[in-house]
Chain A
């Protein structure tokens, strides 16, 4: 699918070393974008992905505002611009509310919500100077529905949905289009965390989730990347502040 208007544009995907982030980077690359891939630390996986799709690896901890400033500066100076930001990074931790270590609770919010805040704050001046841009935030079904033992994660993702609604309104007049995707249960390495948290084997978690999904299966990372590609498309500006839910039919509600 390379009909998208991304040829020659520069995209940055955070949390791209594995799972959905890697899929988004590959998809935007095949749409024609030069893709910078980021993850918290340098790794063979991140380097291999950068080598595969060509834009370069830019490791940085997005929960640290100074690192985020440096990240955006480096991408702009090395690749010439920043037209598309895909905020995909996330830190996941589950615990019953009263048992959740406060430091860890805030680490979830700092990484997922404040990290994205810092990324957008640094990216907007670059996009503004270029006359426009596309920002795609990866939220979560749990940010819409909530989920037991996931207060920090759900709060951080719900915060992202409200951030996107507000920035959608605020930045659209300048041609910077902000939207979100709320994936349901997707088959990624993240499921290992859920399995560990529940104390059951990975295949049991797969079956448990699939049973609750009307389509009867988990989603694939590339099925989320297809929405990212749509929302990154410069031919589409009328989607503004929206959260596209891709969850196999579980939620069926307005965000």
Chain B
């Protein structure tokens, strides 16, 4: 962690597993105090609360609680999410709404909770996990790609809006990543698909975490940008 003598607090959502857990480990390794928000317990975090990111009030309360216990939030990483594929005609209104609520709503709820303090202190960094599918699209991914694409719109707009307050907003758009979100029979694990990737393998959660950690820790002149660790899926 650069520059600060006191350890700073970072909030990581989706911290129980996959990319969120890898981000929590990498930032803890760099000296951050990591507060995790997830529906499941977050063993990689110093402090954690079991929260559904669609519940705006619960997110607010959790952030207030962790600020009382750990101190002010210097950075926030929105990694909570899930993945499912469906043809457009089979996406129910409920699953469409749930997809948007968790990914887009989760980022908005997190941002509402942490941004006022960051603006007031004129220092902060927010990183959202989006997806390679938001950049390149994919068959049977309309609801997931729409939710992740909307995140990019929020990130770029918020970056413009709060740059004058010295708050930075960026995203990481991983390719298919080797996490529990990808079922063993997922088409993204098919050897025929992997053979099409320049890297010939899935992206690892630790690689995504390195990109997030750069943005949080050292990306002082970087805002409104999307980093793409995607094994070459979208170049």
CB distance B207 to A214 under 8 Å? no
With a cutoff of 8 Å between Cβ atoms, the chain A residues found around residue B42 in the complex are none
Q: Of all chain B residues, which has the CB nearest A217?
A: B221
Given contacts A168-B232, A239-B211, A246-B222, 13 further A-B contacts (CB under 8 A): A186-B221, A227-B214, A229-B218, A230-B218, A236-B211, A238-B174, A238-B230, A239-B229, A241-B198, A241-B232, A242-B235, A246-B221, A249-B168
Contact with A along B206-228 (1 / 0, CB 8 A): 11101100100011111111111
Is the CB–CB distance between B235 and A219 below 8 Å?
Answer: no
For the complex formed, measure the closest distance between the CB of B220 and the CB atoms of chain A, giving whole angstroms: 5
List CB contacts (< 8 Å) of A236-253 with chain B.
236-242, 244-249, 251-252
Contact A244 B221 (CB under 8 A): no
Closest 10 CB pairs of A and B: A214-B163, A172-B198, A252-B224, A219-B221, A241-B235, A226-B218, A238-B229, A240-B232, A249-B223, A223-B221
Could you give 5 example pairs across A and B, Cβ below 8 Å? A227-B214, A239-B207, A240-B199, A246-B225, A247-B221
B163 touching A216, Cβ below 8 Å: yes
Q: A238 with B199: in contact, given A226-B214, A230-B214, A233-B210 (CB under 8 Å)?
A: yes
* B111 proximal to A (CB < 8 A): no
CB <8 Å contact, B203 and A238: yes
Q: Is A148 an interface residue (CB 8 A)?
A: no
Picked from A3, A186, A237, A248, the residue with its CB within 8 Å of the CB of B223 is A248
Interface string of A71-113 (1 = CB under 8 A from B): 0000000000000000000000000000000000000000000
List residues of B whose CB falls within 8 A of some A CB. 2, 29-30, 135, 156, 159-160, 163-164, 166, 168, 174-175, 198-200, 203-204, 206-208, 210-211, 214, 218-232, 235
Interface residues of A in 198-234 (CB under 8 A from B): 214-216, 219-220, 223-224, 226-227, 229-230, 233
Q: How many A-B residue pairs have CB under 8 A?
A: 121
Chain A: interface residue total (CB-CB under 8 A):
38
Cα distance A169–B230 in the bound complex, in angstroms: 12
User: CB-CB < 8 A to A165: which residues of B?
Assistant: 235
Supposing A223-B221, A237-B199, A239-B211 touch, asked if A214 and B226 sit within 8 A by C-beta, the answer is no
**A236-B235 CB under 8 A given contacts A173-B198, A241-B198:** no
Residue from B163, B219, B224 in contact with A226 in the complex, judged by beta carbons closer than 8 Å: B219
Closest approach, in angstroms, between the C-beta of A165 and any C-beta of chain B? Answer: 5
CB distance from A254 to the nearest CB of B (A): 7
- Report the minimal beta-carbon distance from A183 to chain B, rounded to whole angstroms: 8
**Overall SS of chain A's interface:** loop
Partner of A220, one of B29, B200, B203, B221: B221
Nearest CB of B to A196, in Å: 24
A residues lining the B interface (CB < 8 Å): 1, 3, 165, 168-169, 172-173, 184, 186, 214-216, 219-220, 223-224, 226-227, 229-230, 233, 235-242, 244-249, 251-252, 254
Cα distance A172–B2 in the bound complex, in angstroms: 31
Chain B residues within an 8 Å CB radius of A214: 159-160, 163-164, 223-224
With both beta carbons as reference points, the residue of chain A lying nearest to B210 in the complex is identified as A236
Selected contact of A252 from candidates B175, B199, B225, B235, CB within 8 Å? B225
Which residues in B have their C-beta under 8 angstroms from that of A252? 156, 159-160, 224-225
CA of A184 to CA of B220, assembled, Å: 13
Instruction: Please indicate the chain A residues that have their CB under 8 angstroms from the CB of B229 in the complex.
Output: 236, 238-239
CB distance from B190 to the nearest CB of A (A): 18
Tell me how far the C-beta of B156 lies from the nearest C-beta in chain A, rounded to whole angstroms: 5
Residues of chain A within 8 A of B222, CB atoms compared: 223, 227, 244-247
Cα-based distance from A169 to B160 in the complex (angstroms): 32
Name which residue of chain A comes closest to B230, CB basis. A238
A235 CA to B95 CA in the complex, in Å? 36
Shortest CB-to-CB span from A28 to chain B, Å, is 14
Which residues from A are CB-within-8-Å of B224? 214, 249, 251-252
A1 lies within 8 A of B218 (CB): yes
A34 to B54, CA, bound (A): 49
CA distance A237 to B207 in the complex (A): 7
**What distance in Å separates the Cβ of A114 from its nearest Cβ neighbour in chain B?**
22
B160 touches A249 (CB 8 A): yes
Q: Is A240's CB under 8 angstroms from B206's CB?
A: no
Do B228 and A242 have beta carbons less than 8 Å apart?
Answer: yes
